[in-house]
């Protein structure tokens, strides 16, 4: 049981380049999300999905796109990378919420540097 | 919007107790969580507390919730070097999946 798998672990981009951060989970979780972690700012929600075919914006969505064509995968696309997007990105998933506790399971992160 | 605050650093001696504090603003918070992040890794759930509880104990961990003051704390008894990590509190309203995280507290355990 792999849990939440993120690839790549490290990436360096030049300003203006595009790329996709991959996230896959094998726990049949309905809910998936992307966070970015920056020093002194904790984790901020970028985008999330409550199920296949459904996505929504989080706190800091600008410059990022997502799609959810399957339950397992939730890729994050950077359309035109900027130095402000240098960060560590985490994908997280959990069971669908029905009011019960539903803790997030995190991947190990992708460390992105934009020069 | 929701806001969750933590102090950035805490240093303790091995064997002492650690207390990590967190304050939040959302009065509709239903579940409050503590996550641990070790270097180079993702966050792992340590424990959680439902908003109608005052305290929860799990081995060396004690969570205290003061709902009136919107204050949450995590006490680690007999702190070990392996407890050195960043600790995040997080809250969610209505049992939803969208968590709001604090800034994280870096715990350093000294010999």
Residue B84: name the closest of B55, B50, B56, B111 by CA: B111
Do residues B4 and A59 lie in contact, with contact meaning Cβ atoms separated by under 8 Å? Answer: no
For residue A97, list chain B residues with Cβ-Cβ distance below 8 A: 95-97
From the CA of A50, how many Å to the nearest CA of chain B?
9
Percent pLDDT > 70 in chain A is 95
**Of the partner residues A42, A45, A107, the one whose CB lies closest to the CB of residue B104:** A42
Report the pLDDT value the prediction gives residue B1, as an integer from 0 to 100.
Answer: 54
- Check: CB of residue A55 under 8 Å from CB of residue A49: yes
pLDDT in tens, chain B (111 residues): 568 999 899 999 999 999 999 999 887 778 899 999 998 889 999 999 988 899 999 999 999 999 999 999 999 999 999 999 999 999 887 556 788 899 999 999 999
Q: Please report, for residues B33, B63, B77, B79, B105, the alpha-carbon distance to residue B60 in angstroms, rounded to integers and kept in the order given.
A: 16, 10, 5, 9, 18
Residue A98 to residue B95, Cβ atoms within 8 A: yes
pLDDT tens profile A98-112: 656 778 899 999 999
Of A42, A50, A102, the CB nearest to B101: A42
Query: Taking residues A11-29, what's their average pLDDT?
Result: 96
Q: Is the dihedral of CA A91, A89, A44, B90 positive or negative?
A: positive
State the pLDDT at residue A97: 64
Beta bridge partners of B22: B6, B72
Which chain B residues have any C-beta within 8 angstroms of a chain A C-beta? 1, 4, 8, 30-31, 33, 40-45, 48, 50, 88, 94-104
Residue predicted with more confidence, A40 or B81: B81
The C-alpha atoms of residue B24 and residue B71 are separated, in whole angstroms, by 7
- The DSSP bridge partners found for residue B13 are B110
CB A98: neighbour CB atoms within 10 A?
A: 8
pLDDT value of residue A77: 98
Q: pLDDT of A73-90, one tens digit each?
A: 999 999 999 999 999 999
Q: What is the DSSP string of B60-81?
A: TEEEEEETTTTEEEEEESS--G
Interatomic CA distance for residues B24 and B78, integer angstroms: 27
Q: Which residue in B has a C-alpha nearest to residue A9's C-alpha?
A: B40
């Amino acid at each position: 049981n792999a849990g939440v798998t993120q690839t790549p672990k490290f990436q360096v981009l030049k300003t203006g380049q595009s790329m996709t951060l991959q996230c896959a989970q094998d726990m049949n979780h309905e809910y998936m999300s992307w966070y970015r972690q920056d020093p002194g700012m904790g984790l901020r929600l970028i985008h999330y999905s409550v199920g296949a075919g459904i996505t929504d914006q989080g706190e800091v969505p600008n410059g990022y796109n997502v799609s959810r064509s399957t339950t397992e995968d939730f890729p994050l696309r950077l359309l035109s990378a900027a130095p402000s997007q240098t960060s560590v990105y985490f994908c997280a998933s959990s069971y669908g919420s029905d009011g019960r506790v539903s803790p997030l399971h995190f991947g190990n992160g992708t460390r992105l540097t934009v020069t | 919007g929701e806001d969750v605050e933590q102090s950035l650093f805490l240093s303790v001696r091995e064997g002492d107790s650690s207390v990590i504090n967190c304050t939040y603003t959302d009065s509709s918070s239903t579940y409050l969580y503590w996550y641990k992040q070790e270097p180079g890794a993702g966050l792992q759930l340590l424990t959680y507390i439902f908003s109608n509880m005052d305290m929860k104990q799990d081995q060396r961990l004690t969570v205290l919730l003061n709902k009136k003051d919107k204050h949450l704390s995590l006490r680690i008894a007999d702190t070990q070097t392996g407890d050195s990590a960043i600790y995040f509190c997080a809250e969610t309203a209505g049992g939803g999946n969208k968590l709001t995280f604090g800034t994280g507290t870096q715990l350093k355990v000294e010999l």
